[in-house]
Protein backbone atom coordinates (compact mmCIF):
# COMPACT_ATOMS: atom_id res chain seq x y z
CA UNK A 1 0.00 0.00 0.00
CA UNK A 2 1.22 3.47 -0.84
CA UNK A 3 2.21 5.75 2.02
CA UNK A 4 -0.34 8.36 0.92
CA UNK A 5 -3.17 5.86 1.19
CA UNK A 6 -1.88 4.62 4.55
CA UNK A 7 -1.82 8.18 5.88
CA UNK A 8 -5.41 8.72 4.75
CA UNK A 9 -6.48 5.45 6.32
CA UNK A 10 -4.78 6.35 9.59
CA UNK A 11 -6.42 9.79 9.57
CA UNK A 12 -9.84 8.23 9.01
CA UNK A 13 -9.28 5.73 11.83
CA UNK A 14 -8.11 8.48 14.19
CA UNK A 15 -11.16 10.56 13.33
CA UNK A 16 -13.41 7.55 13.89
CA UNK A 17 -11.74 6.80 17.23
CA UNK A 18 -12.36 10.39 18.29
CA UNK A 19 -16.03 10.17 17.31
CA UNK A 20 -16.68 6.80 19.00
CA UNK A 21 -16.08 8.06 22.56
CA UNK A 22 -18.39 11.00 21.83
CA UNK A 23 -21.08 8.62 20.62
CA UNK A 24 -20.51 6.38 23.62
CA UNK A 25 -20.77 9.33 26.02
CA UNK A 26 -23.94 10.50 24.28
CA UNK A 27 -25.51 7.04 24.55
CA UNK A 28 -24.55 6.76 28.23
CA UNK A 29 -26.11 10.16 28.86
CA UNK A 30 -29.31 9.07 27.13
CA UNK A 31 -29.39 5.89 29.22
CA UNK A 32 -28.98 7.87 32.44
CA UNK A 33 -31.74 10.28 31.41
CA UNK A 34 -34.07 7.39 30.58
CA UNK A 35 -33.34 5.69 33.92
CA UNK A 36 -33.91 8.96 35.79
CA UNK A 37 -37.21 9.49 33.99
CA UNK A 38 -38.29 5.94 34.80
CA UNK A 39 -37.38 6.39 38.47
CA UNK A 40 -39.23 9.72 38.61
CA UNK A 41 -42.29 8.12 37.04
CA UNK A 42 -42.21 5.24 39.52
CA UNK A 43 -41.81 7.69 42.42
CA UNK A 44 -44.71 9.80 41.18
CA UNK A 45 -46.88 6.69 40.73
CA UNK A 46 -46.04 5.46 44.24
CA UNK A 47 -46.84 8.87 45.71
CA UNK A 48 -50.18 8.95 43.90
CA UNK A 49 -50.95 5.44 45.10
CA UNK A 50 -50.15 6.32 48.70
CA UNK A 51 -52.31 9.46 48.45
CA UNK A 52 -55.17 7.40 47.09
CA UNK A 53 -54.76 4.75 49.77
CA UNK A 54 -54.47 7.34 52.54
CA UNK A 55 -57.55 9.19 51.36
CA UNK A 56 -55.64 12.45 51.28
CA UNK A 57 -56.70 15.33 49.08
CA UNK A 58 -55.25 15.69 45.61
CA UNK A 59 -52.93 18.57 44.90
CA UNK A 60 -52.49 20.90 41.97
CA UNK A 61 -54.99 21.40 39.20
CA UNK A 62 -57.28 18.63 40.47
CA UNK A 63 -58.08 20.76 43.53
CA UNK A 64 -60.49 23.08 41.70
CA UNK A 65 -63.26 24.74 43.69
CA UNK A 66 -66.70 23.34 43.03
CA UNK A 67 -68.90 25.38 40.73
CA UNK A 68 -72.00 26.67 42.47
CA UNK A 69 -75.24 25.88 40.66
CA UNK A 70 -77.63 28.75 40.15
CA UNK A 71 -80.84 27.00 41.18
CA UNK A 72 -84.09 28.43 42.32
CA UNK A 73 -85.18 27.35 45.81
CA UNK A 74 -88.02 25.29 44.27
CA UNK A 75 -85.67 23.44 41.92
CA UNK A 76 -83.17 22.86 44.74
CA UNK A 77 -85.94 21.33 46.90
CA UNK A 78 -87.09 19.20 43.96
CA UNK A 79 -83.57 17.87 43.38
CA UNK A 80 -83.12 17.19 47.09
CA UNK A 81 -86.34 15.16 47.17
CA UNK A 82 -85.33 13.22 44.07
CA UNK A 83 -81.90 12.40 45.49
CA UNK A 84 -83.35 11.35 48.85
CA UNK A 85 -85.75 8.99 47.05
CA UNK A 86 -82.88 7.58 45.01
CA UNK A 87 -80.74 7.00 48.10
CA UNK A 88 -83.64 5.37 49.93
CA UNK A 89 -84.23 3.04 46.98
CA UNK A 90 -80.51 2.18 46.90
CA UNK A 91 -80.48 1.40 50.64
CA UNK A 92 -83.61 -0.72 50.27
CA UNK A 93 -82.08 -2.65 47.36
CA UNK A 94 -78.91 -3.31 49.38
CA UNK A 95 -80.96 -4.45 52.37
CA UNK A 96 -83.02 -6.78 50.17
CA UNK A 97 -79.88 -8.19 48.55
CA UNK A 98 -78.34 -8.94 51.97
CA UNK A 99 -81.53 -10.33 53.49
CA UNK A 100 -82.55 -12.44 50.49
CA UNK A 101 -82.59 -16.18 51.07
CA UNK A 102 -81.16 -18.87 48.78
CA UNK A 103 -84.52 -19.61 47.10
CA UNK A 104 -85.45 -16.34 45.54
CA UNK A 105 -89.12 -17.15 44.89
CA UNK A 106 -90.47 -13.88 46.18
CA UNK A 107 -88.41 -11.20 44.50
CA UNK A 108 -88.01 -7.75 45.96
CA UNK A 109 -90.59 -5.17 45.02
CA UNK A 110 -89.28 -2.55 42.65
CA UNK A 111 -88.59 0.87 44.14
CA UNK A 112 -90.13 4.13 42.93
CA UNK A 113 -89.89 4.71 39.18
CA UNK A 114 -86.99 6.85 37.97
CA UNK A 115 -87.74 10.54 37.51
CA UNK A 116 -89.22 11.49 34.17
CA UNK A 117 -87.57 13.85 31.69
CA UNK A 118 -88.59 17.39 32.48
CA UNK A 119 -88.97 20.30 30.04
CA UNK A 120 -86.31 22.31 31.93
CA UNK A 121 -83.69 19.80 30.72
CA UNK A 122 -82.66 18.35 34.08
pLDDT reported for residue 114: 66
pTM: 0.35
H/E element, 15 = helix 3-54
Let me know: does 91 contact 112? Beta carbons within 8 Å: no
Distance CA 114, CA 61 (A): 35
pLDDT reported for residue 82: 97
Mean pLDDT per 10-residue interval, the chain, length 122 residues? 90 89 88 92 89 64 80 94 96 87 55 67 59
Phi, psi of 101 (to 5 degrees): -85, 180
pLDDT reported for residue 23: 87
Query: Which residues 6+ apart lie within 8 Å of 18 measured at CB?
Result: none
Amino acid sequence: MKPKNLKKKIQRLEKHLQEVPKKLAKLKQRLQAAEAAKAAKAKKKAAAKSLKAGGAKKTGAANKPKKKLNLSPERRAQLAATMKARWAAKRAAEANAKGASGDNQHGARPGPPPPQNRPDGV
